[in-house]
A and B are shown apart, each in its own frame.
Chain A
Amino acid sequence: AQSVAQPEDQVNVAEGNPLTVKCTYSVSGNPYLFWYVQYPNRGLQFLLKYITGDNLVKGSYGFEAEFNKSQTSFHLKKPSALVSDSALYFCAVIGAGNMLTFGGGTRLMVKP
């Protein structure tokens, strides 16, 4: 069975500092990896995906993620955090079974 782990329930960052939200996965076959963001009272919004190719993927709002096959990780990063980045972030994976599995989510709090 495939699974996604987001080990941190919450990440606190000061505005202007770099941020990292961690994600590790377990699938059979080659993974398709995704990051989504959820703002209060809204649905999930797609940020970026890794299918194949470059291990560093760039997405919306200045976010990027690095695929590391040996560590089975797909951490979300941004060089300089904004207060408006405060939200709930979900990592997700599709493996050989073709079903999307979400992690438990990480709340990002960016303090001014």
Chain B
Amino acid sequence: ETGVTQTPRHLVMGMTNKKSLKCEQHLGHNAMYWYKQSAKKPLELMFVYNFKEQTENNSVPSRFSPECPNSSHLFLHLHTLQPEDSALYLCASSPGSNQPQHFGDGTRLSIL
């Protein structure tokens, strides 16, 4: 148990659907992150939030929209995704930006 919970664990959606991924941490951390992990590719940082403010957006397409309503919750809203967006989406949190990150177990996303 890492203290970071992601739901759902698995998601299958069509290209025209709208869905959201949820991440929750009760570790008292101030920073939260979204990563994309695809087969045979390095871990890709997508978004970073510090104290609920977005501080990093790594050229992520607008069909991915993050939301951080408070320091414990992070969402990733999905709309009009492409087949190449199928991947494992990992959420992480850390006390500060140079501290070890604690990861959730991810959401396995499949786009039909």
B69 at interface by CB-CB < 8 Å: no
Q: Among A34, A36, A98, A105, point to the contact of B42 (Cβ < 8 A).
A: A105
Q: Given the known A-B contacts A99-B56, A105-B42, are A45 and B2 also in contact in the complex, defined by CB atoms under 8 Å? A: yes
- Interchain nearest-CB distance for B30 vs A (Å): 13
Tell me, yes or no, whether A49 is within 8 Å of chain B by CB: yes
Q: Within the assembled complex, what's the spacing in Å between the Cα atoms of A36 and B100?
A: 9
Residue of A with least CB distance to B101: A100
Question: Is the CB–CB distance between B103 and A45 below 8 Å?
Answer: yes
Question: In the complex, which residues 75-112 of chain B have their Cβ closer than 8 Å to any Cβ of chain A?
Answer: 90, 92, 97-98, 100-106, 108
Interface contact B56-A46, CB-CB below 8 Å: no
Give B residues with C-beta under 8 Å from A.
2, 4, 6, 42-43, 45, 48, 56, 90, 92, 97-98, 100-106, 108
Inter-chain contact A46/B100, CB cutoff 8 Å: yes
Residue ranges of A at the interface with B (Cβ–Cβ < 8 Å): 32, 34, 36, 41-46, 49, 90, 94, 98-100, 102-105
Other A-B pairs, 17, CB within 8 Å; known A42-B106, A98-B98: A34-B100, A43-B2, A43-B4, A44-B43, A44-B90, A44-B101, A44-B103, A45-B103, A46-B100, A46-B101, A46-B102, A94-B98, A99-B56, A99-B97, A100-B97, A104-B42, A105-B42
Q: Please determine whether A103 and B42 come into contact, CB atoms closer than 8 angstroms.
A: yes
Contact of A98 among B43, B92, B97, B100 (CB under 8 A): B97
Q: Can you list 28 residue pairs at the A/B interface with Cβ under 8 Å?
A: A32-B98, A36-B103, A41-B105, A41-B108, A42-B106, A43-B4, A43-B92, A43-B105, A44-B90, A44-B92, A44-B101, A44-B103, A45-B103, A46-B100, A46-B101, A46-B102, A49-B100, A90-B43, A94-B97, A94-B98, A98-B97, A99-B97, A100-B45, A100-B97, A102-B42, A103-B42, A105-B42, A105-B43
B85 to chain A, nearest CB (A): 19
A71 to B104, CA, bound (A): 33
> What distance in Å separates the Cβ of B36 from its nearest Cβ neighbour in chain A?
12
